[in-house]
Structure 1
């Protein structure tokens, strides 16, 4: 039986692909399959992937027209036969024992999500992202890493949920993460491997690193999550979602992306849209119980809020 199916979307990453695939074919865990999804690459990526398919019996290569990261992940899912599913980006690489450690935490399939710690590899520095455990699903929503590539997911569970990554949108991992959590019963369904497993490579020319790419997708993603929770009558996480969404909008989106826009008109439009979105969907966010907890992140968020209106009028 295949223990883990690892889905690897590939698009024009010839410079990084060998390192990524070497880290996967050299895993210490046996009975894994590696599903390479060539998403219409125009460089040498397809040839590199073909070489691995020819040399490793557990490597499958499938090709499709370019549709983006979410579309490639969804496409790869139909070929997966493993007990667990993993998604690895083709410019990242993993430690050789990562999947063995994660699978050993599955408790014979009782865990629905197992996640690993990771290292952010920026062009000028590395930053560890380390968690030892989560004490509740509420804490997981507030502090959990909203990425798909540091986790393995119970396939039979995913099959019953029958939802996919949103195609054509950035921030797709946030959509996937919050919908996953909505379908968990308790924190015991999650395990954490406290070792560094993934090397998450931040390229200055990648889509996720580019500050001027489809910033407005975040509004679509959050609306989709909110609607999913409404339809499925999940009402117990309102404070957690309010805190997480406003923190991301005022922190990551506003400071790291909007304010670095060179187009003054676009910058002003985005500032106005962020303010309007928060005022409409989370009018009482400043009284959020998580915001009132003392932490560096919350002090930062309050500072950002205090200058938001000044920024709006400045630009």
Structure 2
């Protein structure tokens, strides 16, 4: 049995899928199962998947109808044979030591989750195009789930990629991705994981190479499903009840999202705008009454409220379009 299963959901990725799979095949850790879940792609994306699975025994291809990334990840979790599970998006890459470093950290500390930092990739580039990608010795830190949640919110991010999970924890606790949520599904998944786990090990190195997705549905200002993120945060506050620090950290991210939500309203039609406004009102009611923001956070929120158009223009300028 493979020790680690890498789940790669794919939908119509062609430009970067080969470089993603090549980076996994080049891992210095050999006990790797690559579960490639094709989510109803068109040609030639599906053909790339079939070609790689045919020529590389470590890649197991599962073909499904198009039901979304959460469904594809859940299919991967159910099919995985490894003792540990990690996720890689089909347009991203990982460093050669990525799996090995996460596995060593989680086994040495007997943790339930291992987490690393990430670097950015430019469009259609290799790992040399990121920033600060030179390998360095890992410093690891073992924390309880409460502290881990705060660090996810402030530093590491809620992404499911860049993290290694003990598969038995997911299976025994019935943890999977919410297939009704199209934005911030990672946030809810990881809050459930942290609710069920005992301890988390954090690495300060960046083993995951993330490609900003300029043309994704999430970045489309006309996409009404983006407002599902507000529902996700309302659920997140419920899951984080009793953890004041985490609720404050979530509240800061949430208030920034609310500023963006108000900016996005003008791009919706009347019916969609009315539904979105209701979501905004419900979420505002869920915010902590006395969040513990530092001076920098308060300044950022004030700027977002006073100059929403300028702030959004600056934020979106960083999105690279393919």
Q: Same fold (TM over 0.5)?
A: yes
1:112 aligns with 112
Of 7-16 and 260-269, deviating more is 260-269
CA contact (8 A) 2:5 2:86 kept: yes
Indicate which of 201, 204, 216 corresponds to 1:206.
216
CA contact (8 A) 2:222 2:267 kept: no
SS in 2 for 1:107: helix
Does 1:221 find its partner at 2:232? Answer: yes
Q: CA deviation at 1:131?
A: 9.5
Cα distance in 1 between the residues matched to 2:252 and 2:200: 24
- Note closer, same or farther for the CA distance 1:303–1:138 as it changes in structure 2 (3 Å cut): farther
Indicate which of 191, 207, 226 corresponds to 1:178.
191
How many residue pairs match? The answer is: 293
Indicate which of 191, 199, 203 corresponds to 2:201.
191
1:33 aligns with 33
- Note closer, same or farther for the CA distance 1:246–1:5 as it changes in structure 2 (3 Å cut): same
TM-score, length-scaled by structure 2: 0.80
Does 1:263 find its partner at 2:274? Answer: no
- Note closer, same or farther for the CA distance 1:190–1:277 as it changes in structure 2 (3 Å cut): same
Mapping of residues 229-248 of structure 1, within 5 Å: 229=239, 235-241=241-247, 243-248=248-253
Mapping of residues 44-193 of structure 1, within 5 Å: 44-107=44-107, 110-121=110-121, 133=141, 137-144=145-152, 145-169=157-181, 170-185=183-198, 189-193=199-203
User: What is the alpha-carbon root mean square deviation over aligned residues?
Assistant: 3.1
Of 163-172 and 107-116, deviating more is 107-116
Q: CA deviation at 1:250?
A: 2.3
Cα distance in 2 between the residues matched to 1:131 and 1:300: 31
Cα distance in 1 between the residues matched to 2:276 and 2:306: 14
CA contact (8 A) 2:140 2:201 kept: no
Q: CA deviation at 1:207?
A: 2.6
1:282 aligns with 287
Q: CA deviation at 1:248?
A: 2.3
Cα distance in 2 between the residues matched to 1:131 and 1:219: 35
Cα distance in 2 between the residues matched to 1:55 and 1:14: 18
Cα distance in 2 between the residues matched to 1:127 and 1:178: 29
Q: CA deviation at 1:271?
A: 7.9
Cα distance in 2 between the residues matched to 1:146 and 1:204: 19
Q: CA deviation at 1:226?
A: 4.5
Cα distance in 1 between the residues matched to 2:258 and 2:24: 32
SS in 1 for 2:48: helix
Mapping of residues 7-46 of structure 1, within 5 Å: 7-46=7-46
TM-score, length-scaled by structure 1: 0.81
Which stretches of structure 1, 4 residues or more, deviate above 4 A after TM superposition? 122-136, 264-275, 305-308
Higher helix share: 2
Per-residue CA deviation, residues 54-86 of structure 1 (Å, 9 max, x unaligned), is 111111001010000000000111110101001
